[in-house]
Structure 1
Amino acid sequence: MRQNNFVFPTNKKKYFRKFSKVISVAAYLPEKAVTNEDIIRDNKLAVKDSVIRKSIGVYKRRIAEADAVDSDILAHAAQSCIDKAGINADALSRIIATKFFGDNLLPMTASMIQRKIGSTYATQSFDIDGGINSFLQALDLGTRYINSGDDYVLISSGGVCNRLISKTDPRVAFLFGDGAASVLLAPSEEPHFLAGYFFTNYNYYEIATTQKLKPEFTKESFEKGDFSLFYDYYRMDNWKLAEDFYRTAAITVRDCLLEESNLKMSDIDLVLATENNKAIWEVTLDALGVSQEKSISLIHEYGNTMSAMLPLLLDEAYSTGRIESGMNILMLSHGEGFSGGGMIYRA
């Protein structure tokens, strides 16, 4: 299938000798909540709360404390996740972190999560960069690690986003919030991950991208918590330029997942899609032919939390009883790059 000279790759069925399942999900959200009115007042912006609510769907978002770094938030979610499962950090085979910037460019933030959850083993811990889509990439990778012999794979996603975003550009100033969620995978006797499909389309590379660091940025300013040099680090163009591709990609991912899993859309009980903004979420569900009642939305409360969006939706679904044993859950994300994809999980 072609879209702006782009060809979606043919999906290939995966063969696993050792299956995996989700045994625990946990979230961590900072206590501080900031409303649209707070941002408008503090930054003297000439925009109305009602316009922001209508255009991107965010009413408020959580904001991390000034001295918090990504690993603090990610470790909170990770610790809750392994506590729920009744294991300790030394039982983990691997720790994967997905985040926006991280504690530092190097070393990897996952190694600091490993320290903060009290691991005494030299368990491999690493980061996956990739923005919004990186959680599903990590989830797909986790199933492959278990297939090759791992016992427990911990994925912790999200962190601090809002601090690094322009406070004067309305396209991003109101959109992002801070938060994290973790998922723990373990071996299973039966298949639970029924299908997975991923792609990257460079034709829309410039729609959402980071900028070069300003020359006055220093390691010392970062360590002192001075993030003012980052306020224009993330830029977003008009997403409507890619609306047709969003629709095509959602349909393509859906069709590939259903073909691999031998399911029909009527067999899908719940659809969890990343809420890049409210309109993109609505476009995605419309393309899939799914009503909003068959999905979950959290963007009004938490904003766009980047890679934490899908695991936060999973946590909400499990904690509110929306997911029951035997249900089929379709997860789909649109991310920077454009990188996107989806998975079907049977609870």
Structure 2
Amino acid sequence: MPDLNIPVKILGIGRYLPERRVSNEELARLCGRSAHWIEERNGVRERRYKSFETNAFMGARAAENALADADVGLNDIDLILNASGTAQQSIPDNAVFIQRELGERAAGTAAMTLHATCLSFLAGFDLAASLLLARRYRTILLISSDIASVALNPEEAESFSLFGDGAAAVVLSLAEGESSGLHRAAFKTFSEGAELTTVRGGGTQFHPNAKMTRAEDNLFHMDGLAVLRLVRRHAQDFLEGLEPGLSAGLGAINLVIPHQASKVGLRSLERYNWPREKIVETLSFLGNCISASLPLTLYEAIKSGRLERGDRFLMVGTGAGLSMGGLILTY
């Protein structure tokens, strides 16, 4: 794959985490497993659950924090791009609700959604970079806001205890005359995995009013072992397509920002000779936050000082489908 070298810059980043902290002990009482089992199985000690929040509320608060971090006004934004795996309702598009939460100053700003489950942020970043390069927009607000907690099934203890809620946002623009940029991007989908990670309800096939729709159709289901096997079958070729040699080492990449899929998923990255100290982890204290996991982990890397201007970094992950995605950037 040739270098893209799109001069795009992250001007600012923000996040929103619900105040409600949920311990393994609390979930253990609901799913019939011990707190120790949950941590050993998933690597999660704590996660956040929404109380009063909606997707739009969390996304707007993360966006406001990103704007403040970038020292950019809302009136400078000409596209609000919602890149999330969940929405608070089917119609209208959730980007509309985020715009409304941002207030009157956002009125009239183009607002739309890109949905690629856990890879929504990566796909959104790739799209935003292309739109900026084409001069369609000058400054883009990219937001991922996900609420998993309402659709988890206590009968499936592993996934029930894996997920959390949260939101993160970035402000993007062209980086004229600077080193920041998007160098490589790759996405692949293997639809043989379409039934491995699902919420079957909520669409036209299992409509809420349809007699055939069962309560469990509206809950999350994942065959984690089958997903892991499918990922391992395709990961090496995918990584080599993203950048030759990436499946055998990081080369000039300073840091890895992975999707926080699971404990096993994060550990499996080391099989490609990626040093553990170069892999950023938020799973233990945030859980898997669907599409928000990647930008929340990026936020952690930036605010902790692990990722500095001029550093080359990799964002990579998987999503339901099965889909794989990766970006190589300079911060």
TM beyond 0.5? yes
In structure 1, distance between residues paired with 2:195 and 2:133: 36
Q: Work out whether 1:277 is the aligned partner of 2:266.
A: no
**RMSD, matched Cα:** 2.3
Provide the C-alpha distance between the structure 1 equivalents of 2:49 and 2:209, rounded to a whole number of angstroms: 23
- Match for 2:160 among 169, 173, 177? 173
Residue 288 (1) aligns with residue 272 (2): yes
Amino acid corresponding to residue 68 of structure 1 in structure 2:
E
1:21 matched to 2:5? The reply is no
SS for the counterpart of 1:194 is: strand
Distance 1:217 1:86, change over 3 A: farther
Q: Which amino acid aligns with 1:314?
A: L
1:330 aligns with 2:314: yes
What letter corresponds to residue 142 of structure 1 in structure 2? Answer: A
Identity %: 26
CA deviation string 1:229-262 (max 9, x = no partner): 578521111x22243432344333332332499x
Q: Distance in 2 between matches of 1:243 and 1:302?
A: 21
- CA offset digits 1:278-297 (Å, max 9, x no partner): 101111x1232112111111
| C-alpha displacement of 1:51 | 1.2
Contact 1:13 1:260 in 2 (8 A): no
Q: Report deviation, 1:188.
A: 0.9
Matched residue pairs, number?
319
Q: Is the 8 A contact 2:199 2:217 kept in 1?
A: no
Confirm or deny that 1:59 pairs with 2:48.
no
Query: What does residue range 257-272 of structure 1 map to in structure 2 within 5 Å?
Result: 257-259=242-244, 265-272=250-257
1:24-69 per-residue CA deviation (whole Å, 9 max, x = no partner) reads 111110111011111222x2x321111111111111110111x321
Aligned residues of 1:217 and 1:229 also touching (Cα < 8 A): no
Q: What are structure 1's unaligned runs of at least 5 residues?
A: 1-10, 219-227
TM-score normalised by the chain length of structure 2: 0.89
Letter in 2 for 1:24: G
Match of 2:108 among 91, 107, 122: 122
Could you tell me how far apart the structure 2 residues matched to 1:345 and 1:48 are? 41
Look up the match of 1:203: 192
Instruction: Tell me the CA shift for residue 98 of structure 1.
Output: 2.2
User: Structure 2 vs 1, CA of residues 192 and 260 (structure 1 numbering), >3 Å: closer, same or farther?
Assistant: farther
**Distance apart, 1:103 and its partner CA:** 2.0
Structure 1 residue 126: Cα displacement = 0.9
Distance 1:56 1:169 in 2: 13
SS class of match (2:243): helix
3-state SS in 2 of match to 1:265: coil
**SS of residue matched to 2:313:** strand
Equivalent residue runs for 1:286-325 within 5 Å: 286-325=270-309
2:240 counterpart SS class: helix
Please state if 1:105 is matched with 2:90.
yes
